[in-house]
Amino acid sequence: MSNFQVGLAVVGGLVLAVMVAHSAWSARRNRPRQAVAVEPGDPGFSDTQPMAGIEPELDAAAFELAHFPLVATENKPALDALIDVIAPIALDDSVSGDAALAAMPTTRRAGGKPFFIEGFNELAQRWETPLAGQRYGAFQAGVQLANRSGALNDIEYSEFVMKTQDFCDAVNGTADFPEMREEVARARELDQFASEHDAQLGFVLRARNAAWSPGYIQQSASRLGFVAGVVPGRMVLAAASPGLPPVLGLSFDTQAALADDPAQSAIRELVISLDVAQVDRHEQAFERMREAARLLAQNMDGVVTDDRGVALPADAMGQIGSELELLYDRLDERDLSAGSAAARRLFS
């Protein structure tokens, strides 16, 4: 082999080596970012397991947008004249809780609206959902006037009357129903108010360069206090009081989280969300949402945008915050303060 041929072979070998190295570098650069193993005591260590859910399991009928059941406080009744049609039920004689439970309808809905029956506990002197072993001197049935599925309509009101009448027949009670036309009109007015004051915010965090793996997202978010929810690809920032809806949600591709090898899943965006009416104003949810978005963008090499991909500068976020304060004020004026039981039911 001549010197010229040897030289060509050497050059060819070098070019091939460079190509292999570049290919490996490109593959490494484009590989989804992975979670880093940490030990107890290391900065950013969290003992929260990736899928340790804190969101309660709900039946299909109760699983609405709020995703959280009504939490009873201070023995207050669930029914509220502000957002419910209420029909008092007079009794010939007191009724046991066991009999009341046996007479309950099989479903607690009238169409798309929650349906309630409460009894007046003679011993405790309070309204409550009937309990076995107690006695009740009166009952009241109710149906919610509006929720995110719309206002109570004639058909739903009629179903409410039929369910209540069936209960009355079983406990020897007599119901006093409000006039349907008035209640349906009230439902429409409440629904109009709710539609004009419903705010569900979302910030999209998009990867600038390398994509993220599910583990990398979970590790980064857990450092800010997020924990995994019951749905794969969802994390939540818990409220100060147990049992209340989360302050914030964080979600990414469910299919990527369920992949056989999640580490190879390439995720290029996630969403940080806030359901305004579900969270108490004092939680300062929007401020925490902004800060979480800022820190995740900084730590994960991402950019914060709206759902159309337009970057959200600080002044735009400030404007959103100012408008939210006005929204909170309007809800307070209507006795539907954000995070209250009534607001959580109405905006669900």
pLDDT, tens digit (0-9, with 9 covering 90-100), for 149-179: 999 999 999 999 999 999 999 999 999 999 9
Closest CA to 117 of 80, 157, 82, 164: 164
CB of 270 within 8 A of CB of 205?
yes
Domains, in order of start, for the chain: 84-195 (3.30.1400.10), 197-346 (3.30.1400.10)
Is there a contact between 272 and 293 (Cβ–Cβ < 8 Å)?
Answer: yes
Cα distances (angstroms) measured from residue 270 to each of 20, 222, 250, 279: 33, 14, 7, 21
Lowest mean pLDDT among 17-26, 106-115, 185-194: 17-26
Q: What is the pTM of this model?
A: 0.78
Please give the angle made by the CA atoms of 236, 237 and 242, to the nearest 5 degrees: 100
Diameter of the chain measured on Cα atoms: 116
pLDDT in tens, 9-31: 544 554 444 454 445 444 454 56
Q: How many helices (H) and strands (E) does the chain have?
A: 9, 15
pLDDT above 60: residue 54? no
Structure tokens at 293: 């978005």
Question: Which residues 6+ apart lie within 8 Å of 153 measured at CB?
Answer: 111, 184, 187
Residues in the chain, overall count: 348
Q: Count Cβ neighbours within 10 Å for each residue of 137-150 and write b for 16 or more, e otherwise.
A: ebbbbbbbbbbbeb
Residue 90: strand pairing partners: 174
Asked if 146 and 139 count as a contact pair (C-beta separation under 8 A), the reply is: no
Kindly provide the residue ranges of all beta strands, DSSP E only, lying in the chain, ordered along the sequence.
Answer: 84-91, 95-96, 109-110, 113-121, 126-128, 135-144, 146-147, 150-151, 173-175, 200-207, 227-228, 234-237, 248-251, 269-275, 302-305
